[in-house]
Amino acid sequence: MEQVFFTDDERGKLKPLCNDLLRFSRDVFTYSDIRRLKSLVKSAVDANVYHRDKFGINPVIRNLAACELLCERLSPDRNMIVAMMLYNLYRREFISRDQIVNDWGQDIAKIVGGLNKVSSLYSRHTLVGSENFRNLLLTFAEDIRVIILMILDRLALMRAINHHPDHRQVCDVAYEVSYLYAPLAHRLGLYSIKSELEDLSLKYTNRDVFTQIAHKLNETKASRDAYITDFIRPVKEKLEREGLKFEIKGRTKSISSIWNKMKKQKNDLENIYDLFAIRIILDVPREREKNECWLAYSIVTDMYRPNPSRLKDWLSIPKSNGYESLHITVYGPDNKWVEVQIRSKRMDAIAEKGLAAHWKYKGIKSEDNLDAWMNNVRDILEAAETGPMELMKNMRMDVYDKEVFAFTPKGDLYRFPLGATLLDFAFSIHTNVGCQCTGGRVNGKNQKISYKLQSGDTVEIFTSAQQVPKQDWLNYVVTSKARNKIRVALKEQESRVAELGKELLQRRFKNRKIDIDESVLSKVIKKLGSKTVTEFFTRIAEETLDVNDVIETYLAVTRVAEEAEKISASEYTMQLAGTDESTGQSDDILVIGNNIKGINYRLAKCCNPIYGDDVFGFISSEGVIKIHRSDCPNAAHIRIKYPYRIIRTEWSGKLGSQFGATIRIVGNDDIGIVTNITSIINKEKNVTLRNITVDSNDGLFQGYIIVGVNDTTSLNQLIKKLQTVKGVKNVQRSK
């Protein structure tokens, strides 16, 4: 690249930039700091260390511009400014890390190292727009101040490339800013920077639209200003009469925001009703912030009719990025809708600079650890006595320290939990690759499937058609995807073996001229100690269970069942109630037969009846009455085969303990949806949450929730409330 020299235009920019930077940072820099930094930069220029970037921009000018933005938009910070100025010198090996540590300290060396790590990513053959790339940026950055400097550097670059002749390169940077740096700025609460980045991105990618909106806004500025003045005047008088201390002003929304609204509402600029917002900023102690904000709200809505559907209460629950404010839309003069934002000075400072309380990201994924970490940062900063920039020195961005990132030979990037192995990597590529994995090559060296991945590894997988998953593979993986795929493969293998066992048993039964009754066989399986049908047939195939023993047990169970069938319901001798905790007494909540007392009953597990369901009793062969719902999946079979063992049963009208009921929920796999569901359940009176199982796939989740309820009324009310949760598609009681 072209070496740095200062053009006349650049020399004209250099002095004002230096003067502004010195003026902003006079409280954080000593004279010695300034002299040493100036001398180092000058010697690097003389030694031709600096090189212009691909846009031909002078790096010294760009670095100074980023530092000026730091001071102007955020807060002057000595270490961040020095690190920004030293970064290019370190990258060009003009100075070493040891020199930085000795001359400027360990903290500045850490920031410089973070900037260098991030820049190394751009030489990787990976998809820069992927979510993994974004996460890797955060991982390599190690320090939140590095992310801030990256955002400010991109803003300085975006300002500098207006009308650059290489339109494609400009668009590439603009797209990168829109999907990476603007969202990062938003998550940090740097709203004004985020808006400018989005405006510049729109300007470079769709200049015609940007220019059209900008011209329209300029044309209507006078009338808009006059309208804002007319709107504010009576509000201001009323606020003053109430004794509130405040500042009130109007602002036009950013061009990119207006363009997004035009696309979303499918309207022209003239029909967008909230082109501008009125902001009321209250000067009030923190303990009275909410009270006075709501007082201002009542004053405004008394004067202008509000639109209730447009109320946004971020006072009670702040936005995910820490934003606090109260937004209302009211019907102003000339039949125009006007957005009014009400907040305190503290909230406004946060909204403008993202400082003092809320360095926070959010919204990458529903299970993201980033949220909890940034909540902790927020709590520390709010309680701190020192400035936020000083506190940032001790805030390591270690939210992804429990994750590693690895590349394929083609440069595709994959994210894994810490401790993930080469086998996890294989399953992340494809199920067949994982099932046939025999090992791999990591950074040019052969490794076993149990090799633990390190961030930055380049991994090539070896496979063999003869390879099959083994039980001990479950000890070598940590990702749920790999674990589930291995279990499925093992079950498929077991099923094939079980099928052989089943065929063997069927042949032996046929030889003995015995017809298999599935209900009797189920009892035999349980009696012989097998937990599942597959396990039972596998034991037969592996000859750990003798087929002759199975046949003899089957015949014995059949004889007992036949004897029980000879007894009618009216002749049945009821057993006395035992101590089995799964049984109940009929004299509490159930009326069985002609109010028979002192008998055992159980609520059938196949349908889990609860108080209020239409039910019937079934006398089992063990002498226990099982209570089924009338719509039980097994009800039709019972009525046809054992009508003489059915006994009339109804609820007594006395509420007893809670009943277990299972609810099936299907919905979008959105952030916080499970939290919203469990919150509703926990708020319900006489409802307890006992268990929840959730599985997600392709953006949808399916959950089974077991709750304790008193009766069907409580259950139906809960189901109706769960159906109102945003993102929930279907809620129903599961049988």
Residue-wise pLDDT tens digits, 19-56: 888 888 888 888 888 999 999 999 998 888 888 888 88
User: Is pLDDT above 50 for 623?
Assistant: yes
- The full set of domain ranges for the chain reads 8-190, 214-353, 403-478, 488-565, 583-651, 659-734
d(CA 95, CA 97): 7
**pLDDT score for 60:** 92
Strand partners, 361: none
List strand residue ranges (DSSP E) for 229-369, in order.
246-252, 276-282, 305-306, 312-313, 326-332, 336-344
**pLDDT score for 570:** 40
User: Is pLDDT above 90 for 449?
Assistant: yes
d(CA 651, CA 230): 69
**pLDDT score for 512:** 83
CATH of domain 403-478: 3.10.20.30
Strands 246-252 and 276-282: antiparallel
Task: Label residues 157-195 b or e (16+ Cβ within 10 Å = b).
Answer: bbebbeeeeeeeebeebbebbbebbbbbbbbbbbbebbb
User: Is pLDDT above 50 for 411?
Assistant: yes
d(CA 422, CA 457): 10
**pLDDT score for 125:** 46
Burial environment of residue 594 by CB neighbours within 10 A (0 to 12, 13 to 18, 19 or more): exposed
User: Is pLDDT above 50 for 157?
Assistant: yes
At 530, the pLDDT band (50, 70, 90 cuts) reads confident
Q: Which CATH architecture has domain 214-353?
A: 2-Layer Sandwich (3.30)
**pLDDT score for 122:** 63
User: Is pLDDT above 70 for 461?
Assistant: yes
For residue 431, give the 3-state DSSP assignment.
Answer: helix
Q: What is the pLDDT of residues 287-315, one digit of tens each?
A: 899 999 999 999 999 999 998 888 888 88
CATH topology of domain 8-190: Hypothetical protein af1432 (1.10.3210)
**pLDDT score for 335:** 79
596 within 8 A of 610, measured Cβ to Cβ: no
Burial environment of residue 93 by CB neighbours within 10 A (0 to 12, 13 to 18, 19 or more): exposed
At 706, the pLDDT band (50, 70, 90 cuts) reads confident
List strand residue ranges (DSSP E) for 170-316, in order.
246-252, 276-282, 305-306, 312-313
Question: Which stretches of 340-479 are DSSP H helices?
Answer: 345-353, 370-383, 388-391, 422-429, 431-435
List strand residue ranges (DSSP E) for 425-530, in order.
437-442, 445-447, 457-463
**pLDDT score for 121:** 67
Q: Is the pTM of this model over 0.85?
A: no
Q: What is the pLDDT of residues 341-364, one digit of tens each?
A: 999 988 887 777 654 333 332 222
Q: What is the pLDDT of residues 647-665, one digit of tens each?
A: 888 887 665 567 888 888 8
Cα–Cα nearest to 630, from 644, 650, 656, 602: 650
**pLDDT score for 404:** 79
**Range among 83-97, 256-270, 640-654 rated most confident:** 83-97
Look up residue 179 and give its DSSP letter: I
509 within 8 A of 474, measured Cβ to Cβ: no
- Give me the phi and psi of 252, to 5 degrees please: -85, 140
Q: Options 3.40.50.300, 3.40.1190.20, 3.40.50.720, 3.30.70.260; which CATH number does 659-734 get?
A: 3.30.70.260
